[in-house]
Amino acid sequence: MGLTIAQKIIKDHLLGGTMKAGEEIALRIDQTLTQDATGTMAYLEFETMGIDRVRTERSVAYIDHNTLQSGFENADDHRFIQSIAKKHGIYFSRPGNGICHQVHLERFGIPGKTLIGSDSHTPTGGGIGMLAFGAGGLDVAVAMGGGAYYITMPKMMKVNLTGKLRDFVTAKDVSLEILRILSVKGGVGYIIEWGGEGIKSLSVPERATITNMGTELGATTSIFPSDEITKAFLEAEGRGEAWKPLASDPDAEYDRIIEIDLSTLEPLIACPHSPDNVVKVSSLKGTKVDQVCIGSCTNSSLYDMLKVAAILKGKTISPDVSLSISPGSKQVLSMLADCGALSDILASGARVLECACGPCIGMGFSPNSAGVSLRTFNRNFEGRSGTADGKVYLVSPETAAAAALTGEITDPTLLGESPKVEMPAAFKIDDSAVIAPASPEEAKDLEILRGPNIKKFPEAKPQEDTLSAELVLKVGDNITTDHIMPAGAKILPYRSNIPYLSQFCFGVCDKSFPERAKAAGESIIIGGSNYGQGSSREHAALVPLYLGVRAVITKSFARIHIANLINAGIMPLTFENPEDYEKIDQGDRLTIKDIYAGMESGKMLLLDETKGQQIPLTCAFTDRQKAILKAGSLLAYTKKGE
């Protein structure tokens, strides 16, 4: 039987397990990336492993999330990351150099290689044929140390594209269309391969927009073939030698195939508060818009920015709209400046922000009360923008620019002729903002610079055979990591300070949760389906651990979050009968006995002492995961194995 692209790369990197969907496999990781919001924790974890130098082919530490520096905290963390990178063989991308995924695609990504990053949008690298996964910081730390990355072997999905996008219909609309079809849960357990005749008209940045947003489907990752278009992109980046062709075999088999005819698509928009709440832009015509934000790792390439500049050129934005533009990288910003497009953007009345995540993660530019914000980003979860009642819609750069001009939701196809943008034959290459690590010799004497904001992370608690605890919180379906551990300008600077962060845990759902959890000592959380979707932040596991949470019981989990829970030593369990979710109430006293035997059989019994009822639970831990839970955490388990 032939192989898919992903199966070929997995086969080349397989360190353990068999390539059978549903089984645990161990992968060799060629490259890692971190960003600063998850990076400090990842490097603290790396340090405890006592390894002198990273064992990957390339590891890069980016500073792109926490760039506000409204106090000493972020600046201290940046210095910590910079010093640890220099000492341990990691390249350091300075603040201002750009968003990790955009810069990695431009300067470091290589078709056919494996990449894990402590950020859920690491699959952006799939746009050039990398097998790239988002992971928790601890998994990235282990990979930097040369350890394997463990995942469940995914099923394979193929999306066949035919036809060609019409004017003003974009790769972002393709992402929104697949979200409309599959929902935020529809990609769980799959790697999505994009193919068909239609991909020949998609440039690398457009492909990267699509693989980036595969994360919102819950997919393990997404990937495009590496073809002549990939080659041209790498050559334009001065990295032609990194190219190699990659395609699936003609007789490769897929568990699911979806057909999309690009020529039938229309501009689409995801309504608050979920990326799969998708309708046609034309159906919301006339809705008043307060704010427009263009940028993020989804839509901040030179290609996107040039189109926006062309639409804005010679025009002034609506007086009622505040428009922000954040180019994805220094390369993008500098090329926009050189060709004059930046002046067109500025002349329109836009506010140009630095090359960073910015408004996407609530670092400034929060909308006004109940404000309507159109964003070219990938997530519109409740409260994420920093304004609790803000209404965030996700759109393409074209739809965003149209709304900025008219002040209302506007179908961009009504703008007249669509601007034609060619990818340049050569990008402007300047890697001066990437600082190389010290030589092993020099590294010996280097000191790691630590600030007072770095606090100890919570201690591992080995899983005992019986758990008796209060159900301190019951939440519904599709709880995101932004609900569990919010980010934003007020909280993000404290990513290396778990005790401080803990005051905000689940703040979006229930402000009294932290206090109740602390008072309860040990506790249990119950959730609906797709619990923990969204970010890779391991803080969404470490903070509940700090507050005493010992188990989370749900209808189903999102992939990265369940791995983070196990790595932190919190037991993830699922209802055997999803309808049992209804039978338990917050405040009930719950007991689970014979946990060790249950880990083996895959079945446990939950005794609800308050209601005198028994509820069957399931689990599917691999031997490695059982050992991690019994040791109390992946770190404790890794140390034991030394």
Binding residues for ligand MIC, rule: CB under 6 A, are: 37-38, 65, 119-121, 134, 361, 487, 534-537
Phi, psi of 56 (to 5 degrees): -90, 170
Q: How far is the CB of 379 from ligand MIC (least distance, A)?
A: 6
Residue 296 binding result from ligand MIC, ligand SF4, none, given CB thresholds of 5 to 8 Å by partner type = ligand SF4
CA dihedral in degrees (361, 364, 366, 368; nearest 10)? 180
For the CB of residue 135, give the shortest distance to ligand MIC in the complex, in Å.
9
Measure the CA–CA gap between 349 and 272, rounded to whole angstroms: 26
Give the count of residues interacting with ligand SF4 (CB under 6 A): 11
By CB under 6 A, tell whether 119 contacts ligand SF4.
Answer: yes
Half-sphere exposure of 135 (CA within 13 A, CB side): 28
CB of 175 to ligand SF4, least distance (A): 13
Reading the block at residue 95, the tokens are 């603040």
Residue (99 or 128) nearer to ligand SF4, CB: 99
Q: In 340-413, where does DSSP find H-type helix?
A: 341-347, 397-406
Question: Quick count: other Cβ atoms within 10 Å of Cβ 83?
Answer: 17
Give CA–CA dist 46/49, Å, rounded.
5
41 bridge partner residues = none
171 φ, ψ (degrees, to nearest 5): -60, -35
Taking CB under 6 A as the binding criterion, the range among 153-161, 174-182, 282-290, 354-362 that sits at the site for ligand SF4 is: 354-362
For residue 3, which of 19, 26, 27 has the smallest C-alpha distance?
19
Non-local (6+) Cβ contacts of 256 within 8 A are 155, 156, 157, 158, 190
Q: Which is nearer to ligand SF4, 308 or 469 (CB)?
A: 308
99 binds, among ligand MIC, ligand SF4, none (CB under 5 to 8 A by kind): ligand SF4
> Least Å distance between CB 66 and ligand MIC?
9
Residues within window 521-560 making contact with ligand SF4, judged by CB under 6 A: none
**Bridging pattern class, strands 256-261 and 291-294:** unpaired
* Beta carbon of residue 304, minimum distance to ligand SF4 (angstroms, whole number): 13
Name the binder of 537 from ligand SF4, ligand MIC, none, CB < 5-8 A by kind: ligand MIC
Residue 26 CB neighbour total at 10 angstroms: 15
38 makes contact, choosing from ligand MIC, ligand SF4, none, with CB < 5 to 8 Å by partner type, with ligand MIC
Strand 278-280: give its sheet, edge to edge.
278-280, 268-270, 391-394, 372-375, 291-294, 322-325, 351-352
User: Considering only residues 272-311, where is the footprint of ligand SF4 by CB under 6 A?
Assistant: 296-297
Hunting for tokens 């990691």 — which residue is that? 90
Distance of closest approach, residue 495 Cβ to ligand MIC, in angstroms: 7
Rounded to the nearest whole angstrom, what is the least distance from the CB of residue 99 to ligand SF4 in the complex? 5
Query: What's the closest the beta carbon of residue 121 comes to ligand SF4, in angstroms?
Result: 5
Helix H segments across 472-557? 481-484, 498-501, 513-520, 539-546
- From the list 235-243, 329-337, 353-361, 615-623, the region that binds ligand SF4 by CB under 6 A is 353-361
Q: Is 361 in the site for ligand SF4 (CB under 6 A)?
A: yes
- Which of these segments, 356-364, 395-403, 504-512, 525-533, binds ligand SF4 (CB under 6 A)? 356-364
- Cα separation, 176 vs 280, whole angstroms: 10
Among 87, 121, 231, 330, binds ligand SF4 (CB under 6 A): 121
> 73-102: which residues touch ligand SF4 (CB under 6 A)?
99
Residue number with CB closer to ligand SF4 (357 or 595): 357
Q: Which residues form the interface with ligand SF4 (CB under 6 A)? A: 65, 99, 119, 121, 296-297, 357, 360-361, 377-378
